[in-house]
């Protein structure tokens, strides 16, 4: 068969290895190895199972944790909001009824589902991973085919451990060279989204490659893959390597002993073959990247920290001009304002994009011995209980609290403001999260996406600053 | 799921690009544990003022479009989160068909699971339908899934493409889970092979 001799991409390989059935019209049934479940997108799926008398097909490959609604302060007292409380309790009840492991809110392992998966070794190379959450693309950092699904598909995976899919196209984004100091994984992915646009990846799975990607830590790779969805792609992938294996070895749900050796052998066969065909190629140079800030209400609205708010009068395309005008009105920004002149009210550090230990370390480095500007309210929300514990063991919490940051308990928090953490109308926030949509962090709230270092420097200066000059 | 065969209704124009799922249904309405009742909060932040009263010039608040069943929208409709609450809210409001040049992947999938037909068309066709939709209640479109065509108020016909399996499921109102469970033996065969080849999973 030519399929065995034709060079294949990593996506092709994982796809082929999970194909259960292919209909004549090209519709495929793909096996799902790992299913993460959270409280917001699962209640209707479990209800569907109950109504049809169906069971969870592979409860052992399903892991549930509440993250979107959980409070990030005073957690021991429970959840105040009755709707949030009901949703979290419903997940706990459903997990028990259907035999799925559930990490309770007060468990040290609780956290944002996309931080918990890798931490527990639930996320493994070569697997297919889904969750009713678009940022499931995060797990692609391990060379897993991972993407978000809707609630009907959550029900489908619970009942059958498969998903009806048609194959996406292959795109490769190569980031050559080395990042300059203080330019991070977050700046890489924001630059890529700026380059391809929020619909540029629609219909594709993106493989990230190149020296700059290889040089990133696993956590940096997760940041890149996390925001693949913001470029419209179904999933992002990075080939597993020694860093991947080192990260996973010894994790609670990673294979052990002889099984570990066997697994690593298999994982080494995953990277794209030499000469594999990509339908689209994008190339970026890491060395020329600056720290990036978004100015508008779409993640593609990026600009260098040295740049300024765009002037819609200079945009020829009518739809684009209208969108920019609308965004600037919402954001309360004048055309041509220098980014460093934009004053902030709030700073949010956390989320599945940038809520891991390395992110908090970078923030603490900048915060050490300094103070958050008097007019700024800044919060740091660790991505999981284990991240929080690690940070506290390193004394990072003390540095942050001393500098005037609010040190919180883990969850999605103000990335999407489903819990009590939200912006008031008109408040402007530097955020390490992934979306700057209208109302995302609270009705009328204004979000600028940045790296953790840029957010920390902005918290201290009270406005955006070029972190390269700040430190 | 209701079958989708032919739909004749008013089309509302939303020429904005990148209409995201946070716009379609803001997160405060995701706390429900039901699928129904979200229609009143569709496009909540664009549709209502802070005091809860209606924004008069928002398209779905205009008398001609209050019963719209079709949306004609700008590029990249439904980008953002995977929340199926977005199609649930559209459906609950009464929207059964969305026409755009492109859709975000997850949203596009979610539509089919709920009997909503998303139609991708070239820019010039979307522009034409957007013009038709601007004409308010006079702008009734007929979307014929079987024939894969949209008939405009002036008798113009626009053809569209759709995946044949998705078309079949939509026309018959089929339940995906039921269909897949018919392939249970293929799934079990796969699992046996997987247990042998990747025993660590």
Q: Domain map of chain B by residue range? A: 6-174
A199 falls within a domain = yes
Look at A202 and B102 and tell me if their CB atoms are within 8 Å: yes
Cα dihedral A117, A119, A123, A124, rounded to 10, equals: 180
Q: Which two tokens stand for residue A169?
A: 């196209």
User: Residue A378: beta bridge partners?
Assistant: A347
Query: In which order are the strands placed within the sheet that holds A204-209?
Result: A235-237, A204-209, A169-176, A280-285
A67 falls within a domain = yes
Q: Shortest CA distance to A119 belongs to which of A218, A41, A239?
A: A218
> Does one domain contain both A91 and A211?
no
The domain tally of chain A equals: 3
Residue range B6-174 in CATH 3.20.19.10:
yes
Residue A184 is part of a domain; what is its CATH number? Answer: 3.40.1060.10
The pLDDT, as a whole number, for residue B2 is: 86
- For testing contact with chain B, the best of A23, A134, A150 (most B CBs within 10 A): A150
> Does one domain contain both A153 and A231?
no
* Beta strand residue intervals within chain B, DSSP E: 6-14, 70-73, 97-100, 117-120, 140-144, 149-151, 157-159
A409 falls within a domain = yes
Measured in angstroms, the CA of B189 and the nearest CA of chain A are apart by: 9
Contacts of B17 in chain A (CB under 8 A): 319-320, 323
Instruction: State how far the Cα of B172 lies from the Cα of A289, in Å rounded to an integer.
Output: 52
Measured in angstroms, the CA of B26 and the nearest CA of chain A are apart by: 7
Measured in angstroms, the CA of A124 and the nearest CA of chain B are apart by: 9
Which of B20, B109, B183 shows the shortest C-beta gap to A153?
Answer: B109
> Does one domain contain both A395 and A281?
no
Mean pLDDT of A114-132: 98
A265 falls within a domain = no
Could you tell me the pTM of the whole model?
Answer: 0.96
> Does one domain contain both A224 and A254?
no
Query: Across chain B, how many H-helices and E-strands are there?
Result: 8, 7
Mean pLDDT of B38-61: 96
Contacts of B84 in chain A (CB under 8 A): 41, 44, 132, 150-152
A2 falls within a domain = no
Measured in angstroms, the CA of B6 and the nearest CA of chain A are apart by: 23
> Does one domain contain both A132 and A182?
no
> Does one domain contain both A158 and A210?
no
The pLDDT, as a whole number, for residue A471 is: 66
pLDDT tens for each residue of B80-135: 999 999 999 999 999 999 999 999 999 999 999 999 999 999 999 999 999 999 98
> Does one domain contain both A105 and A188?
no
Considering chain B, what is the average pLDDT of its residues?
Answer: 95
The pLDDT, as a whole number, for residue A448 is: 98
**Residues 61-120, chain B: which have Cβ within 8 Å of A?**
74-76, 79-84, 87, 102-106, 109-110, 113-114
Distances (CA, A) of A92 to A35, A39, A72, A403: 16, 9, 19, 37
Instruction: State how far the Cα of A115 lies from the Cα of B41, in Å rounded to an integer.
Output: 31
Chain A / chain B CB contacts < 8 angstroms: 182
A266 falls within a domain = no
A324 falls within a domain = yes
A246 falls within a domain = yes
User: Residue A157: beta bridge partners?
Assistant: none
Residues of A marked as binding for [4Fe-4S] cluster?
352, 412, 415
Domain extent, residue A422, equals: 292-469
Q: Which two tokens stand for residue A177?
A: 């060279």
Instruction: State how far the Cα of B66 lies from the Cα of A282, in Å rounded to an integer.
Output: 44
Bridge pairing between strands A377-380 and A346-349: parallel
pLDDT tens for each residue of A282-316: 999 999 999 999 999 999 999 999 999 999 999 99
Q: Which two tokens stand for residue A168?
A: 């996406």
> Does one domain contain both A249 and A224?
no
């Amino acid at each position: 068969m030519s399929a065995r001799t034709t060079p294949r991409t990593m996506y092709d390989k994982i796809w082929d290895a999970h194909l259960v059935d292919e209909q004549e019209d090209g519709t495929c049934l793909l096996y799902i190895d790992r299913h993460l479940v959270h409280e917001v997108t699962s209640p209707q799926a479990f209800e569907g199972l109950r109504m049809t008398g169906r069971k969870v097909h592979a409860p052992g490959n399903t892991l549930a944790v509440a993250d979107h609604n959980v409070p990030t302060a005073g957690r021991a007292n429970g959840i105040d909001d009755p709707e949030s409380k009901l949703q979290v309790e419903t997940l706990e009840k459903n997990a028990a009824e259907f035999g799925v492991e559930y990490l309770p809110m007060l468990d040290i392992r609780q956290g944002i589902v996309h931080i918990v998966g890798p931490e527990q070794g639930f996320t493994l190379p070569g697997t297919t991973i889904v969750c009713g959450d678009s940022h499931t693309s995060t797990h692609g950092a391990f060379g897993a085919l991972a993407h978000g699904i809707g609630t009907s598909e959550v029900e489908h995976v619970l009942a059958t451990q498969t998903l009806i899919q048609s194959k996406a196209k292959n795109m490769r984004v190569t980031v050559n060279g080395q990042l300059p100091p203080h330019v991070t994984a977050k700046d890489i992915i924001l630059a890529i989204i700026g380059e391809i646009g929020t619909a540029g990846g629609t219909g594709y799975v993106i493989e990230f490659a190149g020296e700059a990607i290889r040089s990133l830590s696993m956590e940096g790779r997760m940041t890149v893959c996390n925001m693949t969805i913001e470029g419209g792609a179904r999933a992002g992938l990075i080939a597993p390597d020694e860093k991947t294996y080192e990260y996973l070895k010894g994790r609670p749900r990673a294979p052990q002993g002889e099984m570990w050796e066997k697994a690593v052998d298999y994982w080494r066969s995953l990277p794209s073959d030499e000469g594999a065909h990509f339908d689209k190629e994008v190339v970026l140079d890491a060395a020329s990247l600056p720290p990036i800030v978004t100015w508008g209400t779409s993640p593609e609205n990026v600009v260098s920290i040295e740049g300024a708010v765009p002037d819609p009068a200079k945009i020829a395309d009518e739809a684009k001009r209208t969108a920019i005008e609308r965004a600037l009105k919402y954001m309360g920004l004048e055309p041509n304002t220098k980014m460093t002149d934009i004053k902030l009210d709030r700073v949010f550090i956390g989320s599945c994009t940038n809520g891991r230990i390395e992110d908090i370390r970078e923030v603490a480095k900048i915060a050490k011995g300094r103070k958050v500007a008097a007019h700024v309210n800044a919060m740091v929300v660790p991505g999981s209980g284990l991240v929080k514990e690690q940070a506290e063991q390193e004394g990072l919490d003390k540095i942050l609290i001393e500098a005037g940051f609010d040190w919180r308990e883990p969850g999605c928090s103000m990335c999407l403001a489903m819990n009590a953490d939200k912006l008031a109308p008109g408040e402007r926030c530097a955020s390490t999260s992934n979306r700057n949509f209208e109302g995302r962090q609270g009705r009328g709230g204004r979000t600028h996406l940045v790296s953790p270092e840029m957010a920390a420097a902005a918290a201290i200066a009270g406005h955006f600053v070029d972190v390269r000059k700040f430190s | 799921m209701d079958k989708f065969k032919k739909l004749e209704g008013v089309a509302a124009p939303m020429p904005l690009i990148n209409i995201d799922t946070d716009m379609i249904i803001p997160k405060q309405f995701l706390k429900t544990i039901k699928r129904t009742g979200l229609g009143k909060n569709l496009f909540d932040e664009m549709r209502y003022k802070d005091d809860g009263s209606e924004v008069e010039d928002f398209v779905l608040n205009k008398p001609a479009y209050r019963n719209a069943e079709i949306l004609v929208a700008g590029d990249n409709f439904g980008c953002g989160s995977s929340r199926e609450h977005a199609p649930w809210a559209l459906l609950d409001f009464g929207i059964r068909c969305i026409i755009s040049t492109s859709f975000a992947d997850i949203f596009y999938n979610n539509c089919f699971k709920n009997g909503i037909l998303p139609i991708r068309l070239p820019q010039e066709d979307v522009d034409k339908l957007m013009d038709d939709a601007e004409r308010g209640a006079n702008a009734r479109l007929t979307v014929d899934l079987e024939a894969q065509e949209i008939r405009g108020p002036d008798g113009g016909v626009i053809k569209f493409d759709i995946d044949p399996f998705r078309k079949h499921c939509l026309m018959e109102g089929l339940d995906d889970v039921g269909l897949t469970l018919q392939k249970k033996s293929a799934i079990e065969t796969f699992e046996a092979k997987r247990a042998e080849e990747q025993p660590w999973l």
